[in-house]
Amino acid sequence: MTLGERLFMYRNKVNMSQEKLAEEIGVTRQTISKWETDQSMPDFDKIEPLCEVFGITPDELIRGEKNTSEAKEIQNNYNEKRNKKKAIVLSLSLIHI
């Protein structure tokens, strides 16, 4: 499912017209139409307002993924490993100084 298809689905889920959604987030109705037909994409600063209107997370809107506890755990494990590698590199760098 494309981002445009998700925007269309979520907008209909909250029973909102393109015009009303456009008013809510400060764009034109034509802009909403272009987003929903994948002719253009929302600017980064419009993602949060869209998510607030739809009651979803940015991951749900952009990727179509719900932010589950399993996904959070995977992300936390990745961050831990990355931070350990950074610490080792930093330690080795300090030893050589």
pLDDT tens for residues 20-72?
999 999 999 999 999 999 999 999 999 999 999 999 999 999 998 775 555 56
Q: 85 vs 48, which has greater pLDDT?
A: 48
State the Cα–Cα distance between residues 12 and 26, nearest whole angstrom: 19
CB 80 within 8 A of CB 88: no
pLDDT band at residue 80 under the 50/70/90 scheme? confident
pLDDT band at residue 74 under the 50/70/90 scheme? low
**What is the residue whose two structure tokens read 């981002």?**
3
User: Cα 18 vs. chain centroid, distance in angstroms?
Assistant: 20
85 token code pair: 């590698």
Residue 50's pLDDT is what? 97
State residue 13 phi and psi, 5-degree precision: -65, -35
